[in-house]
Amino acid sequence: MRKRRSYRSSPRTTFLVLAAQGLEEAVGELLLKRTEILAAVKVYADELPVFKEKGLRIISIVNAVEMRFVTKILDEAEAVDPPGMPEARRPEAAAVSEETVETLMIPETREIREIRGIWEPKDTKDTENTKDNKDNKDNKDNKDTEDTEDTEDTKDTKGSFETPETPETPETPETPETPETPSGYTQSGSCTEAAMIGFVLQISSGDAADFSSLISELPHGYEPCEVFFGEGETCLPLFCKHAEKLDLRSAPKPKAVLTDELHGFGDAVLLFPVLQQFIDKEARLGHEVHLITKRKLVPFFQTVLKRCRILEGAHTHVMYEAVMRSSVYGKVFLLPVSVSAPPLHHIRDLFAKALGFQRPPGQPDREKMDFPQLPSALEQEMASLRETGAPVVGVQFHTGDPKRSWPQSYAQQFVRLCKERNIHLINLSPLPYDLQPEGCRDWSGLAVTGLFAALEGMDAMVGIDSVCGHVAGFLGVPNLTLWGRSFPGLQFPGSRDESHVSFRTLSANYSLVPRSADIRDISPELAFARLKELLDGRICLSAEVITAHDTLNEIGIEWVDGA
């Protein structure tokens, strides 16, 4: 996924959910489970009216953290301010509003006490709370794999929670003299002492959250200059206005590596060997490395990288700026994916240079790498295919980008041709259609980390420019790439986004490249013919790493003319 995301402007309501002191991480984490948080903001009590004037809807969570209530309030708010320009977003309308904060009071129930129990300091918990905590922690740990179950639990207990029509004590933190408000945060005359963390959410009419508008949404002077870590491995940009007093004595700080928003699984496969060597080098110098990456890549990096903290973070310039300016990190590396002028770089070289290597480090010893094994059923299936003596080939014909995807009819014809010649095909990625009737086996449910074990046992890989080909290239398995939209040595040819970066697989690659950049110019018959030549040894591919120079010299590249 390398196409730049464009943000459509859409009607939306921006919320500031304030967390009572001590509940910041818990509120942040629970909000993240329900929605996308754009940013955390360090808010001072006496500045709340300014947020209101900017049109933010403010919700204060004061005595518990059950997000069903927040969801309800957000739903109700959206119903009051339907898509279109919400009244509250007009400064003049907000200025006459008397209420600055909607305070959410939640009745004390057993479930609420349990939720509280999770977040209270350990030394204040009684035995029962500790048990509750463990139970809840266990539930939390299982959430990623038991989403359906969690949903059912939520349904079961929904009836026991009610939001009062009128909050019992909807206190607004307006009186500086009050040392502590029922809202749970301490106030004082000095705004440097009365800070609390708020979370910025947007409710829009179906569009992705608009990070680019954050600066204008927040009051003047708030800037992304710190990071906020949620309870889990999540990193948010933290907007601050007032400087904190920091300890200026030298101390080692972790280094952060940010992957660009355009990175996909294929890029991650190319990146991780270089990144692991960077992590190892820094570890020898006593430096910790944090990788901040997009949500979908977190499980992959958690599996393949060692000695590195993997954090999930939104990939926007707001986030980059927050990480760069934060006091948490000493140095920050943003891994680029595009270069608008020659010379050509292979993306692996670009990653290596960005991480300070003079030349790309050698490939890691694959024998020592610890990839997940295939599920036993698939292992047995592979063994039985191998017993037939016929070649086994992995395929990937589809990705989210239609210009890189091979047409369905082409894929079907290719599968039929392979079946006629007794070549076993296994589809390794999700398809919007079914190739099993044509005789292609379906392993599309495999996680990306499972592809390593799957492809290691195959004779070749045929696919579009995407992750499966990159795994094959990493493993040195002969791989045939069907190019569309881009060339092996030029991204987005003919457009203003032309980029001189090569995304060829690491090794053993043969590329069929339409001059038109239209993947439909690669016929199933041509792809099949080249596959046969690969399998018969008539095309010999090197296991050496393919360089940008190789690509410029068109080694292993066959240009294809349109019909």
Site for another protein, rule CB under 8 A: 212, 215, 223, 225-226, 243-251, 253, 255, 316-318, 320-321, 324-328, 330-336, 338-341, 345, 350, 353-356
What angle separates helix 24-34 from helix 110-119, to the nearest 10 degrees? Answer: 120
CB of 294 to another protein, least distance (A): 17
CB of 316 to another protein, least distance (A): 8
Residue 450 exposed, middle or buried by CB count within 10 Å (0-12, 13-18, 19+)? buried
CB of 493 to another protein, least distance (A): 17
- Which is nearer to another protein, 229 or 406 (by Cβ)? 229
Q: How many CA atoms lie within 13 A of 548 on its CB side?
A: 16
- What is the rounded distance in angstroms from the CA atom of residue 364 to the CA atom of residue 232? 30
E-assigned strands of 51-206? 57-61, 102-104, 195-204
- Which is nearer to another protein, 324 or 552 (by Cβ)? 324
CB of 243 to another protein, least distance (A): 4
CB of 91 to another protein, least distance (A): 22
How is residue 38 written in tokens?
Answer: 């754009």
- Which is nearer to another protein, 265 or 333 (by Cβ)? 333
- Which is nearer to another protein, 112 or 215 (by Cβ)? 215
CB of 225 to another protein, least distance (A): 6
- What is the rounded distance in angstroms from the CA atom of residue 384 to the CA atom of residue 300? 29
- Which is nearer to another protein, 125 or 353 (by Cβ)? 353
CB of 308 to another protein, least distance (A): 17
- What is the rounded distance in angstroms from the CA atom of residue 191 to the CA atom of residue 188? 7
- Which is nearer to another protein, 328 or 526 (by Cβ)? 328
Residue among 517, 505, 501 nearest 403 (CA): 517
Q: How far is CA 309 from CA 228, 235, 330, 472, in A?
A: 15, 11, 15, 27
Partnered with residue 354 across adjacent β-strands are: none
- Which is nearer to another protein, 9 or 154 (by Cβ)? 9
- Which is nearer to another protein, 331 or 549 (by Cβ)? 331
> Of all helices (H) and strands (E), which one includes residue 464?
strand 460-464
- Which is nearer to another protein, 37 or 240 (by Cβ)? 240
- What is the rounded distance in angstroms from the CA atom of residue 350 to the CA atom of residue 353? 5
- Which is nearer to another protein, 52 or 255 (by Cβ)? 255
- Which is nearer to another protein, 200 or 534 (by Cβ)? 200
> Of all helices (H) and strands (E), which one includes residue 311?
strand 309-313
Which residues have C-beta within 8 Å of that of residue 557, sequence separation ≥ 6? 488, 511, 513, 551
CB of 434 to another protein, least distance (A): 42
Contact between residue 414 and residue 464 where contact means Cβ atoms under 8 Å apart = no
Contact between residue 54 and residue 175 where contact means Cβ atoms under 8 Å apart = no
CB of 215 to another protein, least distance (A): 7
Q: How many CA atoms lie within 13 A of 157 on its CB side?
A: 14
User: What b-and-e string marks burial along 218-240, b requiring 16 or more CB atoms within 10 Å of the CB?
Assistant: bbeebbbbbbbbbbbebbbbbbb
CB of 270 to another protein, least distance (A): 14
Which residues have C-beta within 8 Å of that of residue 421, sequence separation ≥ 6? 532
CB of 333 to another protein, least distance (A): 5
If one counts every other C-beta atom within 10 angstroms of the C-beta of residue 191, the result is 16
